[in-house]
Chains A and B, each alone.
Chain A
Amino acid sequence: MKKRSLVFIVLILTTIFFSACKPKVKQVPPTPPPQVKEQPKVEKVEPPKETAKRPLTEEEIFMSQSLEEANKAGYLKMIHFDFDKYNIRDDMKPILAQNAAWLKKFQSVKILIEGHCDERGTEEYNLALGERRAKSTFDYLVSLGISPDRMKIISYGKSQPLDPGHNEEAWAKNRRAQFTIIEK
């Protein structure tokens, strides 16, 4: 009898012990709800963002960017040239007109015009040809009313190909004048 009652007591004690443990486990779940409550707060932050976007003009975005970011954004589009040539192609003139319009909008911007060539010219002559391409681009932008003081030119010859390929498509891409914003 005593043994039975002892076993009974032990049983009760163990159940009490485990039941005492269980509530502790149950106490953990109540903590998540506050987390759930916090999440909506984050969602509430979003509306002010939307309102902030509206007043940001193109100019403000540009001014907030670093030179590197601005150059990555590609405000000024590059132009391409014919083989061995440095004259501005008719199909490239609208691109330069767009670039000129952008430059007129951002009067403080100064740019570097880089002239590039494809690999089918020799190193020495290509450096001079690249300079010519940069110069004719420069002259065309001046004719569109951009101050020469805002532009500098440099030639890379064929040392910086855009496309490392060795076919007509790659060469056409590599014969180019591209623009880098150096001051704003």
Chain B
Amino acid sequence: MKRSAKIAIIFFGYFLIALILLTNNLVPQQEVVLKITEGVPAISLALPKFIIHSDNNECQQAASEIYEVLSADLKYSRVFQLLPQSYYSYIRPLDPKNIFFKDWESIQARVLVVGEISGNSENLIFEAKLYDVRSAKFIVGRKYQGNQASRREMAHRLANEIMKAFGEKPIFTSKIVFVSDRDGNDELYLMDYDGANQIRLTFNRVRDYMPAIAPDAQKIAFTSYRETVAGLYLMDLTKKKIIPISTNGTNFAAAFSPDGKKLAFCSTMDGNAEIYVATLGENGIQSVKRLTFNEAIDTAPCFSPTGREIAFVSDRGGTPQIYIMDAEGSNVRRVSFGGTYHDAPAWSPDGERIVYVSRLDNIFDLYVLNLRTNQIIKLTESNARHESPCWSPDGRHIVFSSNLSGQIQIFSIDYDGTNLRRLTSQGNNKLPDWSN
């Protein structure tokens, strides 16, 4: 009975998808974006404890750390739902050489991850296989070799593979760049998506501010207050070198294009805050083009995921509002309404939504504008100042800074306003930007 009902649901699902595809084909020039994962129950995933082929104590510790990190990644994904540990006691213990898939199906697992660990702290081997339970088929497998320091990385990489196997954008090895004053003055720092491995990037006595990370996480554009100029600089993390981009006037609010070849930023080099786009070459910038020409403040540019449009902030209408223009500067239209102070737009990776900050009295909350439906959702309901939002590469999470807990810290929240979590704790931390 149950099975036939499930089949009926699946068929109905296929019918719906076909219908959506059909109706989309009827309307030309509309991008087909199917978001069937949102609102659909997460895939139930069984992640039994890893099998350890060693008596080595360090190996046991590694197994538990990798397990914890992998579980946290999958829980955070919003794609998978981990089965409760207690369910595993109802069935026969796992034998990786002879898996009883019927057992796993009986506890409602759709996907099974089997992990095995061997070696020692210096030469750790982690092998994992992903199975589809119902069809009893192997989906994907990976073997990682590393040492004690690479435990988290192994877990993140496997989590990425699991996401990819289900057609999802992997996010677990992505990085977040931010500003912290934990060591005295504002400097740039980099951390993993989950707040682990926070490392310092700049070491000087001047203020380094408002960083933007390139999609490949290899370059960081940032504002640096050197002598009497707030210039825009580009740091190459692989070549360990910093080059100036613009050192006339005050330069800030940099944003990379999706292909990483262009850099939009705000500058007062011609006297007023205007938006410029620098084309990046092998050894620095090839050209700089001015996009806005009016007496108002134009700032906070952000490329659309196609790179064809730029969202930005302007007070040309009297108060700061969100506008969109073509990447060449033409076809400007206002998209934010209903408030007197909107700033810091960030375009979602699917191109459909823009998250921004809205100020009401002394409170800044995050709002999401759906460009397709023109619907606005209030994402946060706080008594604080939430600022500088930025999407995760898969568009399911948003990182931002807030004084929610007193000092300014970096938080992440899901696209639907749930799952608020704090990523930093030392000093004041702000202006986060998430790599691809």
Contacts and interface: CB of A to CB of B under 8 A. Distances in A.
B313 A154 contact: no
Q: Which of A121, A125, A153 is the most central at the interface, judged by chain B CB atoms within 10 Å of its CB?
A: A125
Interface string B202-223: 0000010110000000000000
Contact of B186 (A119, A131, A159): A159
Interface string B113-127: 000000000000000
Nearest to A180: B228
Interface residues of B, number: 34
Q: Which of A119, A121, A124, A131 is the most central at the interface, judged by chain B CB atoms within 10 Å of its CB?
A: A124
A173 interface: no
Contacts of B313: 124-125
A120 B384 CA distance: 11
Given A154-B225, A154-B228, A123 B210 contact: yes
Contact of A159 (B207, B253, B320): B207
B299 A128 contact: yes
A154 B229 contact: yes
Contacts of A121: 341, 359
A111 to B, nearest CB: 10
Contacts of B320: 122, 125
B387 A131 contact: no
A79 interface: no
B359 A152 contact: no
B273 A128 contact: yes
A127 B364 contact: no
Contacts of A153: 250, 268
Interface string A55-70: 0000000000000000
Contact of B300 (A112, A120, A125, A154): A125
A134 to B, nearest CB: 8
A41 to B, nearest CB: 46
Given A132-B297, A154-B228, A122 B357 contact: yes
Interface string A98-126: 00000000000000100000011111110
Contacts of B423: none
A137 interface: no
Interface of B: 186, 207, 209-210, 225, 228-230, 249-250, 252-253, 266, 268, 271, 273, 297, 299-300, 313, 315, 320, 341, 343-344, 357, 359, 362, 364, 385, 387-388, 430-431
A155 interface: yes
Interface of A: 112, 119-125, 127-129, 131-132, 135, 152-156, 159, 182
Contacts of B230: 154-155
A17 B435 CA distance: 93
B228 A182 contact: yes
Contacts of A155: 230, 250, 268
Nearest to B297: A128
A106 to B, nearest CB: 18
A52 to B, nearest CB: 36
B297 A125 contact: yes
B388 A123 contact: yes
Nearest to A111: B228
A123 B387 contact: yes
A122 B228 contact: no
Nearest to B229: A154
A124 B311 CA distance: 13
A157 to B, nearest CB: 8
B273 A122 contact: no
A114 to B, nearest CB: 9
B250 A127 contact: yes
B366 to A, nearest CB: 11
Nearest to A120: B362
A173 B412 CA distance: 32
A127 B223 CA distance: 11
A122 B253 contact: no
A154 B206 CA distance: 14
B252 A127 contact: yes
B344 A124 contact: yes
21 contacts: A122-B341, A122-B357, A122-B359, A122-B364, A122-B388, A123-B210, A123-B344, A123-B388, A123-B431, A125-B297, A125-B343, A127-B253, A128-B297, A129-B297, A131-B268, A135-B271, A152-B228, A153-B250, A154-B225, A155-B268, A159-B186
Contacts of A152: 228-229
Contacts of A127: 210, 250, 252-253, 266, 299
A143 B431 CA distance: 37
A26 to B, nearest CB: 61
B250 A124 contact: no
10 tightest A-B CB contacts, nearest first = A122-B343, A124-B300, A128-B273, A128-B297, A125-B343, A128-B299, A155-B250, A112-B228, A125-B320, A127-B252
